[in-house]
């Protein structure tokens, strides 16, 4: 009777593995897309920007403030545009895009430093480019500590010790959620998996029909579940190769901090990978040919990128878009990856995000199984 057979299941897996190994295009896609995306998003969004147009708002007339202004003018990171005298002027500059940053040295800065009150230097930032903001913050911190080191000598030398005598604080004008480069690389993991896995499996079944091997396959006792699952399994491995690639690149190329548990992340990745493969396979059963399958893949890919919170802050989207986004597995996986990597979230914290992904996978697989054509009609 129609009982799932592991021998037949394995037959399909083994065959798919061999075919995958011999298919250069798939291979190129598996390795090429993650690398390409990393380069595009990771490097093109310059992770080490310099010469950022910056203005200075000095509200303190001390020697220390002048030294800061001097150090800034000498720094590579900032292109010193001009000095402004009021906060309104500063905001206007940023709004017009003439300056990306305004460094604000508050009133009584020197006095507060000498008192040991640890005053703040405000980095007013146009945070639409979060990477630049990060760099600016880092550069300001360095600059401050150098100036302070130089200036605080003699009787004031005791102020040099940590904690630093003054701190830099970012005040982001736009994009207050401040998606940082640290957000982008983990996000890429979700995007790359969605893109490649849906596309690759999208071709899996239409290819059999187009090459004329479907007739033979259907003439054997193989069951739809054996075909569909057998075609999914080899690509789970592909998903892991890609995830690994991106994690390694994120760690060593982009210095993304990885606070949480990597094993936990890899575990959850399984559910996400299966969900995407299920979508691809389902497209494959719905499409008449490979072109249609590709189109469906892109159709799925677009909202995945736009509505998931990868490109735009999720809470900033209209409500309907948020509802749509909630359906997509990538939305939840993004939260999981960022949660685990950046915030160190544990299983309990991410569990509510796993459930929708698993549900999605289940529904997609069911549709695929039902829609799998058992005859040539």
Return residues touching other proteins (CB under 8 A). Answer: 1-2, 5, 7-8, 10-12, 14-15, 18-19, 22-23, 211-222, 375-377
CB of 371 vs other proteins, minimal distance in Å: 16
CB of 11 vs other proteins, minimal distance in Å: 3
Q: Coil, strand, or helix at residue 339?
A: helix
- State residue 97 phi and psi, 5-degree precision: 80, 10
- Taking the least distance from each CB to other proteins, the nearer of 2 and 161 is 2
CB of 217 vs other proteins, minimal distance in Å: 8
CB of 227 vs other proteins, minimal distance in Å: 10
- Taking the least distance from each CB to other proteins, the nearer of 161 and 375 is 375
User: Residue 93's Cα: distance from chain center in Å?
Assistant: 30
Under a CB-based contact definition with an 8 Å cutoff, are residues 275 and 364 in contact?
A: yes
- Taking the least distance from each CB to other proteins, the nearer of 46 and 220 is 220
Under a CB-based contact definition with an 8 Å cutoff, are residues 165 and 159 in contact?
A: yes
Cα–Cα dist 328/323, whole Å: 9
Under a CB-based contact definition with an 8 Å cutoff, are residues 175 and 127 in contact?
A: yes
DSSP string, 68-126: HHHHHHH-SSEEEEEEESSHHHHHHHHHHTS-SEEEEE-TTHHHHHHHT--PEEEEEE-
CA dihedral sign, ordered 264, 234, 369, 206: positive
CB of 281 vs other proteins, minimal distance in Å: 18
- Taking the least distance from each CB to other proteins, the nearer of 44 and 219 is 219
- Taking the least distance from each CB to other proteins, the nearer of 7 and 161 is 7
- Taking the least distance from each CB to other proteins, the nearer of 213 and 295 is 213
- Taking the least distance from each CB to other proteins, the nearer of 207 and 335 is 207
* 101 beta partners: 54, 125
CB of 10 vs other proteins, minimal distance in Å: 7
- State residue 259 phi and psi, 5-degree precision: -85, -40
CB of 210 vs other proteins, minimal distance in Å: 12
Query: Shortest CA distance to 280 belongs to which of 239, 242, 246?
Result: 239
């Amino acid at each position: 009777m129609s009982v799932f057979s592991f021998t037949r299941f394995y037959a399909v897996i083994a065959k798919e593995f061999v075919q995958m190994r011999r298919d250069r295009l798939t291979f190129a896609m598996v390795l090429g897309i993650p690398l390409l995306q990393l380069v595009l998003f990771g490097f093109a969004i310059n992770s080490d920007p310099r010469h950022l147009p910056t203005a200075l708002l000095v509200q303190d007339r001390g020697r220390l403030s002048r030294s800061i202004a001097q150090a800034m003018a000498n720094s590579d990171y900032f292109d010193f545009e001009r000095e402004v005298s009021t906060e309104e002027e500063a905001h206007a500059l940023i709004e017009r895009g003439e300056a990306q940053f305004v460094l604000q040295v508050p009133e009584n800065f020197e006095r507060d430093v000498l008192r040991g009150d640890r005053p703040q230097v405000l980095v007013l930032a146009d945070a639409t480019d979060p990477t630049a903001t990060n760099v600016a913050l880092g550069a300001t911190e360095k600059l401050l500590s150098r100036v302070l080191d130089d200036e605080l000598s003699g009787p004031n030398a005791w102020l040099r010790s940590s904690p630093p005598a003054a701190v830099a604080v970012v005040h982001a004008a736009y994009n207050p959620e401040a998606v940082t480069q640290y957000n982008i690389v983990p996000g890429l993991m979700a995007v790359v998996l969605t893109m490649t896995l849906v596309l690759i499996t999208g071709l899996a079944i239409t290819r059999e029909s187009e090459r004329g091997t479907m007739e033979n396959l259907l003439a054997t006792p193989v069951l739809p579940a054996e075909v569909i699952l057998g075609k999914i399994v080899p690509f789970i491995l592909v998903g892991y190769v890609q995830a690994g690639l991106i994690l390694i690149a994120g760690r060593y190329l982009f210095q993304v901090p990885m606070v949480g548990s990597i094993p936990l992340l890899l575990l959850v990745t399984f559910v996400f990978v299966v969900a995407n493969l299920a979508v691809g396979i389902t497209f494959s059963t719905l499409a008449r040919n490979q072109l249609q399958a590709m189109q469906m893949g892109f159709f799925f890919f677009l909202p995945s990128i736009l509505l998931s919170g990868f490109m735009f802050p999720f809470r900033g989207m209209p409500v309907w878009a948020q509802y749509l986004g909630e359906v997509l597995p990538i939305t939840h996986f993004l939260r999981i990856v960022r949660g685990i990597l950046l915030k160190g979230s544990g299983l309990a914290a991410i569990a509510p995000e796993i459930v929708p992904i698993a549900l999605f996978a289940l529904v997609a697989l069911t549709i695929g199984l039902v829609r799998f054509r058992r005859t040539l009609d």
